[in-house]
Structure 1
Amino acid sequence: MISSLDQPPRAQKPKRTATPAQPSLSVDDIARVKVLLPLPFPGPLDYRVPDDMVLSPGEIVVVPLGRREELGCVWDDESAAPPDFAPPPARVVEASKLRAVCTRSDAPPFPPGWRRFIDWVAAYTLAPPGLLLATALRMQVSPAPRPALGWVRCEMPPDLRLTDSRRAVLAQASAVPLTTTDLARMAGVSSGVVRGLADAGGLRSVPMAPVGSSPSPDPEFAPPDLSTEQTEAAQVLVDAVKADRFQGILLEGVTGSGKTEVYLEAVAEALRAGRQALVLLPEIALSAQWVDRFARRFGTAPALWHSDLSPGLRRATWHGVLSGEARVVVGARSALFLPFRDLGVVVIDEEHETAFKQEDGFFYHGRDMGVVRASLSGVPAILVSATPSLETLANVESGRYRHLILTSRHGGATLPSVTLIDMRIDPPERGTFLSPVLVTAMEETMARGEQAMLFLNRRGYAPLTLCRSCGHRMQCPNCTAWLVEHRARGILTCHHCGHVEPIPETCPSCGAAGSLTPIGPGIERVLEEARARFPDARILVMASDTLGSPDATAHAVHQISNREVDLVIGTQIVAKGWHFPHLTLVGVVDADLGLGGGDLRAAERTVQLLHQVAGRAGRASAPGHVLLQSYACDHPVMLALASQDFRAFMDQEAAQRRPGHWPPYGRLAALIVSATSADVADTLANALGDAAPDQPGIAVLGPAPAPLAMLRGRHRRRLLLRAPRNVALQPILRAWRARVTIPAQARVDIDIDPVSFL
């Protein structure tokens, strides 16, 4: 968790201009420049500035490196990271040994705020800054996509020969340009017919709008009709944007309270001031309904940024952000690294979501780095959630963040009732997973013409397959994990590494035929039971297996909203801020699922997830009902959900973590050792354990095998460092890692502020 103690002092804000003024570094006063290369070096390298060249920070240059040349970025002399965790200064190279910069690119320079952010993130996460630069540099030097050509109608040549196919094309053509493919599809002809008509003079080619371009959002297009409570909260956010300085603000509100409409008023204020806005969502699946809501408010869609975009659209969005033409960007956590020229506000929606944590490449938390991005830009950071994380609540408690609360649902809707089903008292029939109490409620709901939802956060048909004869369990050959049966596709698969194999007809261990048995339910198994119990119901499954893209998700949401579905069965994707006005019943198949294991945040995550799932019910005039199937109805999590007293539960969680200095009241850093050999992993982990820091207040736990002791064929060991809140971990971790030689076949990843402990 990032606190205000970690954030850099607020510098005097520069005047906002299209191209911020930057200090020149000429040979007359400084014969050298620092150049950051897209390579895993600990920092930028020094180069000599040729006599005929003047360079400024942010410019793209070509420099020699060994026997080759590399693209790099002229970097600032001083790191933007706070001194307590900034890397030590690099050794100064004698001027006579400096090699000269080769050439300077004509590409626009990276903005100062973006460079400060890269420095800050790299220093905090202990990631080589060049790795953060690599993707950005590729985007920067690649030209923005050229507009494609489209066809429009023109004045007909008198001798033009018309056929039925050509008439069909002309009937579809207009003053709005269409591509050859689109025009041919609409006319029901081949592409050759379109091109032939154009060659004959019947169509004229014109440039189409650039990929990803759209009209600028209009803050006055359709102002919302807000309640008194919403208006007061929106005014606080608008004033924060006008103040033009960093503030952390938590916007908390019950599910269905209209939080999105409220924070969009802050976005509107940034647009009025001619500035840019960034909205982070935890998953791209959320973008479909969010974009529709945005377009209704501002008259056009925002720019999107996530991994599912085409390369051309990503390139166009990147250049649009850099030029300032992309005024509002909504994206996943990686949108933080876009080169905004003039940010006016940063919004982190569903801030409690663990999907904001990046655990591939280098480790960072999108929520925390979003706050840092806002702080370095001197603009407000708005964190939004119905179930705020304990980290964010601790920042509110300490006075670092302002707290706004929406207490009621919008439009007169009421919160759903929550009932626990004790599975020891009302168990399902043998071989099934739905309690009679839940089945009856589903029958009554669908009989009224209302929609129901079943939630189970487990993909596939069954999480485990074992042999009834010998007890053999089907395990992944690459990971310490059971293979999950996906019966619809006839496969067993590992959800960690992607290993796939067909479901065998005999046991691989004892050879018994027909002895392999699925154990436990996944949503495919729940779907099987639901189809048997409700044969006439229109059922839709929402899971990452069935919704492979934002377009597929948008189509599913459209079906539900248009009442083309009676029953929704889904994994955690259904918990994301959807608004389904006709859905009145939510049944949680296994409410105890997330409570097992030794995860520090297991209880908090379970409460947040199930509270969000419950919030899908009763969002319009009809009242909602939530039924939780549990074998542990006296567990604090179940009691909190039944009483709907989220704050009392979080107070209890805080009281349990404070004495042991567990986050957010202390700091954690994980060292994850991995190697292709178990012996190498053990030797390196033990060496790190022997070299562990020995300082007052600091505890090192481990080494120990990770819960996933093998992942993707690599053996894994973990060490966990715990320290008081006021201790900077980065210098300690740098010194610790430097005391141990890491063999070539091994790797040590450092995760500061870990979220997952697998």
Structure 2
Amino acid sequence: MIIDVLLPLNLSKCFSYKVPNGLTIKIGDFVEVPFLNKKYIGVVWNNKAKLNEKIKYKIIYKKLPIPALKKEIFKFIEEFSLYNLQPIGLVFKLFLYKTGLKSIDKGLKKTHCFKEYKINKVKKVDYNSEQIKAIKEIKNRLNKNIFNVFLLHGVTGSGKTLVYMDIVKDLLKQNKQILILLPEKALSNQISRRFEEFLKAKCAIWHSGIKDKIKKKIWKGILENKIQIVLGARSSMFLPFQNLGLVVIDEEHDSSYKQEEGLIYNARDMTILMASILKFPVILATATPTIETYYNASINKYNHILISKRYKNKKFPEIKKIKINKNEMSKNKHIADETLIYTKKFLDKQKQVLFFLNRRGFSTYVICYNCNKRFLCPNCNIGLVFHKIEKKLKCHYCDFVCNANRSCTNGKNCELKFYGIGVEKLFDEIKELFPKKKIIFLSSDVSVEDELNSRIKKIEKNEVDIIVATQLISKGFNFPDLNCIVVVNSDNIFFGSDIRSTEKNYQLLHQLSGRAGRFQDNALVILQSYENNNKLVDALSNEDIFKFYKEELNFRKEAYLPPYSKLISFIISGSNKFTVEKNSILIKKLIPKNNHLKIYGPVSAPISKIKSNFRSRILIKYSSRIRPQKLLKETVEKMKNFKNIKVEIDVDPINFM
């Protein structure tokens, strides 16, 4: 018997193997096979392959003792591969947790007890009228075996988590498995504590920070349908669920759901694709849906469930714009006098204050006073950022690190000048302004997970007075005593030629303001701004939550931008600038001429060099009513013949750098 096996390789074809006598094989079985002097775990794609007498077939080593891959997953792998223009072998690789598969008939054989994950009793919750209405709306339209997408659009602090918890509770009684997708590792710990309190059971958490010993147990528990609820990052959508009944995508607007390197895909969109094939519902929970999600709800493609009031009718924070001028500010002063008056009032009442700045490091622009040379990354076309805590200069694109010293043209060391404010510099300024207060610092540079979780717990328990943080703080956290937020510079949060920059800024500022006053009234959000007219500030102050979306959709329609069109980006990179430019032109010529496709470029990318590779971009725009992937598939295959360059394909890009 000859079978075709799909291997987890950067290829779009299967390989044929011979099945030894006495072994029963069916489509979807996982098998271990030889390939180029190595052992690989693959999946049986076809068990009726044609025998070619001229070929000497290799024999499969063994069949793995785990459930076969469902035929619906086969279809999903094919659709995922085609839509994202990625090799089918790499898509299949996403479903392989190698550590678990290698242990399935070894150490994991002894793992049978999952009692800590068993749901015992569900805590009673008091819902308000809007939450009850939202729960009823979802349950009335919810069918456990029918694909359906719900946009749970609740203002910040409205209790969206409590709403979907109630939906989860009912599905658990039906022995369904539930996946809660979260955008941030640190957020999973806070949400898991709420679920554990609600379900009186331990939640399985899946992300890169979880140890393999724990992951292996979770993986087997999911495989045997003994673990019903999983909270995880985007990779958890590929876990071996046997009876998946619902996926909740919390903070669905978050860009962390987009994998930007390697195999590029959007976990939110691919989860919805998977749900449409496997027939289960999806809940998209957010206070600030993406423009595409809001549009899909507005045309009734998704069910729009709105919660317009905060839990227990708490008031929204007051939005106050404080106009600052350059004369008032100095090199080491970034907080206006008026801002300080307000923040001191909150601190005097023992209420927490957050100072927000979305820039990592201490100084974003480092230059020598004598030779006027800026410190640049040797691998990227970008300046180095000074990190005072580590006393190092860093590149935020390739992770290059160096000491902050350099020989100057006068034979001495460069005399450094630090310009541009980062969150570390702001932290120093706040410490000087409030020397007797307990101040904590939060950013993605706090790389040790235990330390990050410890700081978050201190904020939750009101053990600190002031928080200085980057956008990490905006991702769905619940801080009971945070009542005042200061956005140090509300004019420039995201930079670059990005068609989504207005949307991203609105989402970030709206989410950030939603951290304040969740449990108490009279909260305040201060937006420091150099501009007289700031549309985002006006949008945040406006009580009509749909106004921003209507205006942005009108702009996108006139400009023929998503969701009225769709985009595919080709990023061509290589070590030789001339080779990249020449091959970019040749690749453009390979793209089929079609009246429905508009091709832009090639042009040098906004950051023209990253990790010692020069970068060029080609952008394809097409109608959202068509799918040109089949047309482009041949082009993608031909691109593999180009030498000395790398081509990355980004369908529905959200980053244009």
TM-score, with structure 2 as normaliser: 0.94
Give, in whole Å, the separation in 1 of the partners of 2:559 and 2:631.
20
> Among residues 184, 187, 194, which one is paired with 1:293 in the alignment?
194
Task: Tell me, yes or no, if the aligned pair for 1:114 and 1:339 is still in contact at 8 Å.
Answer: no
Q: Does residue 104 of the first structure (1) align with residue 3 of the second (2)?
A: no
Task: Tell me, yes or no, if the aligned pair for 1:413 and 1:623 is still in contact at 8 Å.
Answer: no
Q: Relative to 1, partners in 2 of residues 1:430 and 1:306: Cα closer, same or farther, differing over 3 Å?
A: closer
Aligned length: 654
Q: Does residue 116 of the first structure (1) align with residue 80 of the second (2)?
A: no
Q: Does residue 672 of the first structure (1) align with residue 571 of the second (2)?
A: yes
Question: Matches of residues 70-89 of structure 1 in structure 2 within 5 Å?
Answer: 70-75=40-45
- The equivalent residue for 2:116 is 214
Q: CA deviation at 1:354?
A: 0.5
Q: CA deviation at 1:737?
A: 3.1
Question: Matches of residues 281-360 of structure 1 in structure 2 within 5 Å?
Answer: 281-360=182-261
Give, in whole Å, the separation in 2 of the partners of 1:516 and 1:688.
44
Q: Does residue 44 of the first structure (1) align with residue 14 of the second (2)?
A: yes
Give, in whole Å, the separation in 2 of the partners of 1:410 and 1:146.
49
Q: Relative to 1, partners in 2 of residues 1:384 and 1:95: Cα closer, same or farther, differing over 3 Å?
A: farther
Task: Tell me, yes or no, if the aligned pair for 1:46 and 1:93 is still in contact at 8 Å.
Answer: no
Deviations 1:386-424 (A, max 9, x none): 001001011112211000011111123110010111223
Q: Relative to 1, partners in 2 of residues 1:650 and 1:512: Cα closer, same or farther, differing over 3 Å?
A: farther
> Among residues 724, 734, 737, which one is paired with 2:633 in the alignment?
734
**Which letter does structure 2 place at the counterpart of 1:475?**
L
Q: Does residue 581 of the first structure (1) align with residue 540 of the second (2)?
A: no
Q: CA deviation at 1:375?
A: 1.8
- The equivalent residue for 2:370 is 469
Q: Relative to 1, partners in 2 of residues 1:97 and 1:514: Cα closer, same or farther, differing over 3 Å?
A: closer
Task: Tell me, yes or no, if the aligned pair for 2:442 and 2:467 is still in contact at 8 Å.
Answer: yes
Q: CA deviation at 1:634?
A: 1.1
Q: Does residue 548 of the first structure (1) align with residue 448 of the second (2)?
A: yes
> Among residues 598, 604, 616, which one is paired with 2:497 in the alignment?
598
- The equivalent residue for 1:224 is 125
Question: Matches of residues 621-640 of structure 1 in structure 2 within 5 Å?
Answer: 621-640=520-539
**Which letter does structure 2 place at the counterpart of 1:669?**
I
Give, in whole Å, the separation in 2 of the partners of 1:526 and 1:585.
17
Give, in whole Å, the separation in 2 of the partners of 1:231 and 1:323.
34
Q: Whose RCO is larger (CA < 8 A, sep 6+)? A: 2
**Which letter does structure 2 place at the counterpart of 1:222?**
K
> Among residues 319, 336, 341, which one is paired with 1:418 in the alignment?
319
Q: Which moved more, 1:707-716 or 1:607-616?
A: 707-716
Q: Relative to 1, partners in 2 of residues 1:429 and 1:437: Cα closer, same or farther, differing over 3 Å?
A: farther
Give, in whole Å, the separation in 2 of the partners of 1:511 and 1:622.
61
Q: Which moved more, 1:445-454 or 1:426-435?
A: 426-435
Task: Tell me, yes or no, if the aligned pair for 1:240 and 1:380 is still in contact at 8 Å.
Answer: no
> Among residues 603, 615, 619, which one is paired with 2:518 in the alignment?
619
Deviations 1:632-665 (A, max 9, x none): 2413222212325442111111111113331111
Q: CA deviation at 1:303?
A: 0.8
Give, in whole Å, the separation in 2 of the partners of 1:50 and 1:651.
63
Q: Relative to 1, partners in 2 of residues 1:501 and 1:93: Cα closer, same or farther, differing over 3 Å?
A: farther
Give, in whole Å, the separation in 1 of the partners of 2:321 and 2:314.
22
Q: Secondary structure at the match of 1:466?
A: strand
Task: Tell me, yes or no, if the aligned pair for 2:2 and 2:47 is still in contact at 8 Å.
Answer: no
- The equivalent residue for 1:138 is 98
Q: Which moved more, 1:91-100 or 1:677-686?
A: 91-100
- The equivalent residue for 2:145 is 244
- The equivalent residue for 1:708 is 607
**Which letter does structure 2 place at the counterpart of 1:442?**
T
Give, in whole Å, the separation in 2 of the partners of 1:76 and 1:480.
48
Task: Tell me, yes or no, if the aligned pair for 1:349 and 1:383 is still in contact at 8 Å.
Answer: yes
Query: Structure 1, unaligned stretches of length 5 or more?
Result: 1-30, 79-90, 149-206
Deviations 1:329-384 (A, max 9, x none): 11000111111111000100000000100012110001111112222221111001
Task: Tell me, yes or no, if the aligned pair for 1:633 and 1:639 is still in contact at 8 Å.
Answer: no
- The equivalent residue for 2:307 is 406
Query: Structure 2, unaligned stretches of length 5 or more?
Result: none
Q: Which moved more, 1:277-286 or 1:732-741?
A: 732-741
Q: Relative to 1, partners in 2 of residues 1:400 and 1:466: Cα closer, same or farther, differing over 3 Å?
A: same
Task: Tell me, yes or no, if the aligned pair for 2:147 and 2:280 is still in contact at 8 Å.
Answer: yes
**Cα RMSD (Å):** 2.5
Q: CA deviation at 1:741?
A: 6.2
Give, in whole Å, the separation in 2 of the partners of 1:237 and 1:511.
72
Q: Secondary structure at the match of 1:300?
A: coil
Q: Secondary structure at the match of 1:287?
A: helix
Give, in whole Å, the separation in 2 of the partners of 1:272 and 1:287.
23
Q: Secondary structure at the match of 2:5?
A: strand
Q: Which has the larger radius of gyration?
A: 1
Deviations 1:92-121 (A, max 9, x none): 784764726434324213430443333322
**Which letter does structure 1 place at the counterpart of 2:174?**
A
**Which letter does structure 1 place at the counterpart of 2:297?**
V
Q: Relative to 1, partners in 2 of residues 1:208 and 1:719: Cα closer, same or farther, differing over 3 Å?
A: closer
- The equivalent residue for 2:351 is 450
Task: Tell me, yes or no, if the aligned pair for 2:65 and 2:105 is still in contact at 8 Å.
Answer: no
Give, in whole Å, the separation in 1 of the partners of 2:51 and 2:639.
27
